[in-house]
């Protein structure tokens, strides 16, 4: 098996979810519905590779995000892999609905950070092995940084 790293191209501030599902012809539709009902103000594109007839299915409400998701999915090239590109929502807003989707097998990663898909290739095809999500940690959080984190969570409504 050959292993390669596929950079995921996206604009600054775009959140990205990479996963794998099945029954692409329906799942791309239900993923779009899950996204819309999870975050009503969301702008998104979702793309999913279909093993037969070997094409990328695309849905969404934003043409640029649809194009970015489709390009990333095509670059990954793994059957039944899907990519969501979104703005005006965070992964925490949509992951429960995506994970509950009956067509979703797994979520490999979800982040606004720079992303790379680690892809294995065999004679049969390609598979997503995982994702590289951002850069490695360089230090341990200080008490002052912890206060800043708690203030940010409070400002976002996630802490009391």
Query: What is the set of domains in the chain, with CATH numbers?
Result: 2-155 (3.40.1520.10)
- The Cα 115–Cα 138 span in angstroms is 18
Residue with tokens 């951002």: 134
User: What pTM did the predictor assign?
Assistant: 0.92
Task: From first to last of the 160 residues of the chain, give the pLDDT tens digit.
Answer: 899 999 999 999 999 999 999 877 778 999 999 999 999 899 999 999 998 889 999 999 999 999 999 999 999 999 999 999 999 999 999 999 999 999 999 999 999 999 999 999 999 999 999 999 988 899 999 999 999 999 988 988 887 5
CA 106 to chain centre: 11
- The Cα 25–Cα 122 span in angstroms is 24
Check: CB of residue 126 under 8 Å from CB of residue 20: no
Query: Pseudo-torsion of CA 28, 116, 67, 47, nearest 10°?
Result: -10
What letter would DSSP give residue 39? -
Check: CB of residue 50 under 8 Å from CB of residue 56: yes
CA angle 58, 64, 67 (to 5 degrees): 40
């Amino acid at each position: 098996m050959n292993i390669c790293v596929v950079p995921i191209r996206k604009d600054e501030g775009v959140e990205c979810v990479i996963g794998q599902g099945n029954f692409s012809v329906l799942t791309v539709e239900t993923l779009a519905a899950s996204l819309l009902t999870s975050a009503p103000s969301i702008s998104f594109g979702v793309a999913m590779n279909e093993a037969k007839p070997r094409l990328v299915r695309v849905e969404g409400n934003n043409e640029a995000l649809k194009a970015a998701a489709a390009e990333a999915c095509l670059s990954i090239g793994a059957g039944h892999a899907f990519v969501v590109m979104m703005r005006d929502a965070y992964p925490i807003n949509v992951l429960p609905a995506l994970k509950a989707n009956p067509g979703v097998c797994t979520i490999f990663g979800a982040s606004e950070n720079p992303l790379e898909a680690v892809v294995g290739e065999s004679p049969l095809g390609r598979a997503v092995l995982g994702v590289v999500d951002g850069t490695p940690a360089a230090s341990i959080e200080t008490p002052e940084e912890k206060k800043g984190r708690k203030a940010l969570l409070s400002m976002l409504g996630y802490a009391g």
